[in-house]
Amino acid sequence: MQIAVVSLFPEMFDAVTAYGVTGRAVKLGLVRVSHSNPRDFTVDKHRTVDDRPYGGGPGMLMKIDPLRQAIAAAKEQVRAQARVVYLSPQGQRFDHRKAVEMAQEEALILVAGRYEGVDERLIETEVDEELSIGDYVLSGGELAAMVVIDAVTRQLPGVLGHGASAEEDSYVNGLLDCPHYTRPEAFAGRVVPDVLLSGDHEKIRRWRLKQALGRTYERRPDLLQGRVMTPEEQELLADYLSEKAA
């Protein structure tokens, strides 16, 4: 997959291109991240990318033309049909389903805004989709773009060592993740649940699913709304709740 990022701060993206699973994906060529900086498309002496808002109000807005040219350059970089995504709190909520969907694209162009935002006509004429990673305001779209790059890259074939972990990622089954344990077996008087030491993979699978269902019920009941539970899941959640009540 090719991802071109339109941002005033391309160096920020080292956080996803140089480290960890996503850094390895870049190294293996499973994903290519390129950059296009609106400042490189300014023509005035001060390399101006922002201007005052019509109608007054605090702060500045990003000007149309440098962004428009930076997006055009980004399209040149990816040379394929690319979905242009603008990151902002006004966007559709980014979630696992969206990550899976975006991972099917041949190319993405992620536009990271700064200041108080961008001229609405840039969004109307250049942006295919506005995406939000959550209901809060960041100082720029870069961190949101990196969240998208990370979550989408994990969905690409070959990125996660053993394919299974992509499927087992929590949210794949629409549930929160179960608890995890590693050595030592005892810590601060707390021991690892016996089932995880049993070597009985079916028992372990059921235990993990039960914990995931129970946690989701307790912490994020909204995720269970409208989610059809299998008979096994219904049984395991009932067991979890009766054990909790006991």
Where do contacts with ligand 4GY occur on this chain (CB under 6 A)?
87-89, 113-114, 116-117, 132-134, 136-138, 140-141, 144
Q: Is 136 marked as a binding-site residue? A: yes
Q: Is 169 a catalytic residue?
A: yes
Q: How far is the CB of 143 from ligand 4GY (least distance, A)?
A: 8
Q: Is 56 marked as a binding-site residue? A: no
- Among 35, 8, 42, 72, smallest CA distance to 149 is for 35
Q: Is 89 a catalytic residue?
A: yes
Write down the catalytic residue from 24, 50, 65, 89: 89
Q: How far is the CB of 140 from ligand 4GY (least distance, A)?
A: 6
CA–CA dist 22, 1 (Å, integer):
12
Q: Is 206 a catalytic residue?
A: no
The residue (of 65 and 116) whose beta carbon lies closer to ligand 4GY is: 116
Q: How far is the CB of 31 from ligand 4GY (least distance, A)?
A: 20
Q: Is 204 marked as a binding-site residue? A: no
Q: How far is the CB of 136 from ligand 4GY (least distance, A)?
A: 5
Dihedral pair phi/psi, residue 32, rounded to 5°: -120, 125
DSSP string, 23-83: HHHHHTTSSEEEEE-GGGG--STT---EEPPTT--SS-EE-HHHHHHHHHHHHHHH-S-EE
Q: Is 110 marked as a binding-site residue? A: no
The residue (of 86 and 207) whose beta carbon lies closer to ligand 4GY is: 86
Q: Is 168 a catalytic residue?
A: no
CB 95 within 8 A of CB 171: yes
Q: Is 19 marked as a binding-site residue? A: no
What proportions of the chain, in percent to the nearest 5, are helix, strand and coil?
45, 15, 40
200: number of Cβ within 10 Å: 12
Residues recorded for the chain: 246
Binding site feature residues for S-adenosyl-L-methionine:
113, 133-138
Active site residues: 89, 116, 154, 169
